[in-house]
Amino acid sequence: MADLLSLCLTLQPLEAPDPTDPLPQWWGRAAHALLLNVTRQYNPSLAEQLHEAPDESGQAIRPFTTSTLVGNFDHGALDPQGRYALRLTSFHHPLTHILLEAAQEGPLAVGAQVELDRRPFQILAARSQPLAEGERPVGKLDGWADLQEYPQLSASLLLAKEPPPRRLRLRFASPASFKSGGKHIPLPLPELVFGSLLEKWNAFAPLAFPAEARRYAAECLAIGRYELSSRAVGGKNGGLRVGGVGWVSFTTLNYDRYWMSVMGVLARFAAFAGVGAGVAQGMGQCRL
């Protein structure tokens, strides 16, 4: 049974926009609430654990991410005929099982209605499998859909005959920000990106990677080329969290087949785990 899930939903609004009711600038909190509400229908205890767990800067790690709502917001309003996309991920087997069941015959299945920030939407498509070659996506995020197992993901590089690449290029689709030394750092530095992924992998994967992987990322990976822009996401009490959006190419300065295989596995894991802080509410959406 799969451990890792990237579930991509295609949604359509069910009500005409109300010009007197402004939309949220960021839908991450609404997506977070949706995931918890769905989980609560199947496993109230797990939903409570996910709700109470601190984010990546605390002692516990939430084993899921959400995206903000993606689509057309002309004049700050929803298009009643438009299609919108939302992504929910899990890297914890019990939660993955719940989301898959919900997408097949439950509250996330095609035809079901869901609420985001008190606004109703109908689910037009729920995709958990990667696009086949030549297949055209239905939703804006369908290219991110995936379903994997931890051993399958790691074996693809650790047991491969071909040596791993010297460069890893990551795309940051939503602002990535990291908490380090009591500060928020809006730049995807190698030790922050791969350190974040290592913590999540070791918390839930059946086979942990050595802690020295963080040191390799810090000492032996460097940023090569990049295209990044800063973006701000609204937080609690009117605060803002700034992060980087775009892509970064990481290059090894001291090539080692094993360590670059580990870095490659973590880079692929990013599509399920996100990177940095705030991934449970839409930040840090990232993939190789």
What pLDDT does 138 receive?
84
Q: CB–CB of 123/103 below 8 Å? A: no
Give the position of tokens 């109230």.
44
Q: Read off the tokens for 109.
A: 């299945």
54-68, 159-173, 190-204, 222-236: range with lowest mean pLDDT:
54-68
If 0-12 CB within 10 Å is exposed, 13-18 middle and 19+ buried, where does residue 74 land? exposed
d(CA 234, CA 76): 16
Give CA–CA dist 197/194, Å, rounded: 5
Looking at residues 106-129, what average pLDDT do you find? 96
Stated pTM of the model: 0.94
Average the pLDDT over each of 74-78, 104-108, 166-170, 283-287 and give the range with the smallest value. Answer: 74-78
Q: Where residue 58 falls among pLDDT bands split at 50, 70, 90?
A: low
Task: Answer whether 248's CB lies under 8 Å from 169's CB.
Answer: yes
Residues 188, 63, 61, 167, Cα dihedral to 10°: -30
